[in-house]
Amino acid sequence: MRTAIILLIIFILALPTAGWAFEVERKVVRVEDGDTFEFASLDTAVAPTHRCTMVGYDAPEGSVWNGGRWVKSPDRRAAAAAGMLRKLIAGKVVRIRGERTGTDDRWRCEVWLKDGTNVNRAMKAFLGQ
């Protein structure tokens, strides 16, 4: 019984820290499409930037694989989504909460502007999702 109580206490104390692996402020250096961007790394000797896929919405892809090569997507919504994300975060220092996905040094992220605006929610509303 005592062991069960101790384990329960440990579990409860661990809850607030579960979930996202990091929360940092970094500069956005490139917007790839409507839900993917790159942010500056602190350790540029290892990697100058990290790719982040934003969570909570799905933007149309900016490029599609066609005949053995990448081509610009014909979906006009892809360009609109990328343009909106650029307008919101390109070149800005943002707060990023995320975790590594384990593939292609990509991260899953949620992003906020300095004024507290949740960029993921803004993009979701822009896309009508």
In angstroms and rounded to an integer, the radius of gyration of the C-alpha atoms of the chain is 18
Q: Could you confirm whether domain 20-126 is CATH 2.40.50.90?
A: yes
**pLDDT level of residue 16 (50, 70, 90 thresholds):** very low
List the Cα angle 96/101/103 in 5-degree steps. Answer: 125
Mean pLDDT across the chain:
83
Angle between helices 76-89 and 119-126 (to 10 degrees): 150
**pLDDT level of residue 68 (50, 70, 90 thresholds):** confident
% pLDDT > 70, the chain: 78
Q: Is the pLDDT of residue 14 over 80?
A: no
Domain locations in the chain? 20-126
Specify the pTM.
0.75
- pLDDT given for residue 18 in this prediction: 45
Give 83-122 pLDDT, tens digit per residue. 999 999 999 999 999 888 776 677 899 999 999 999 999 9
- The first and second tokens of residue 31, run together, are 């917007």
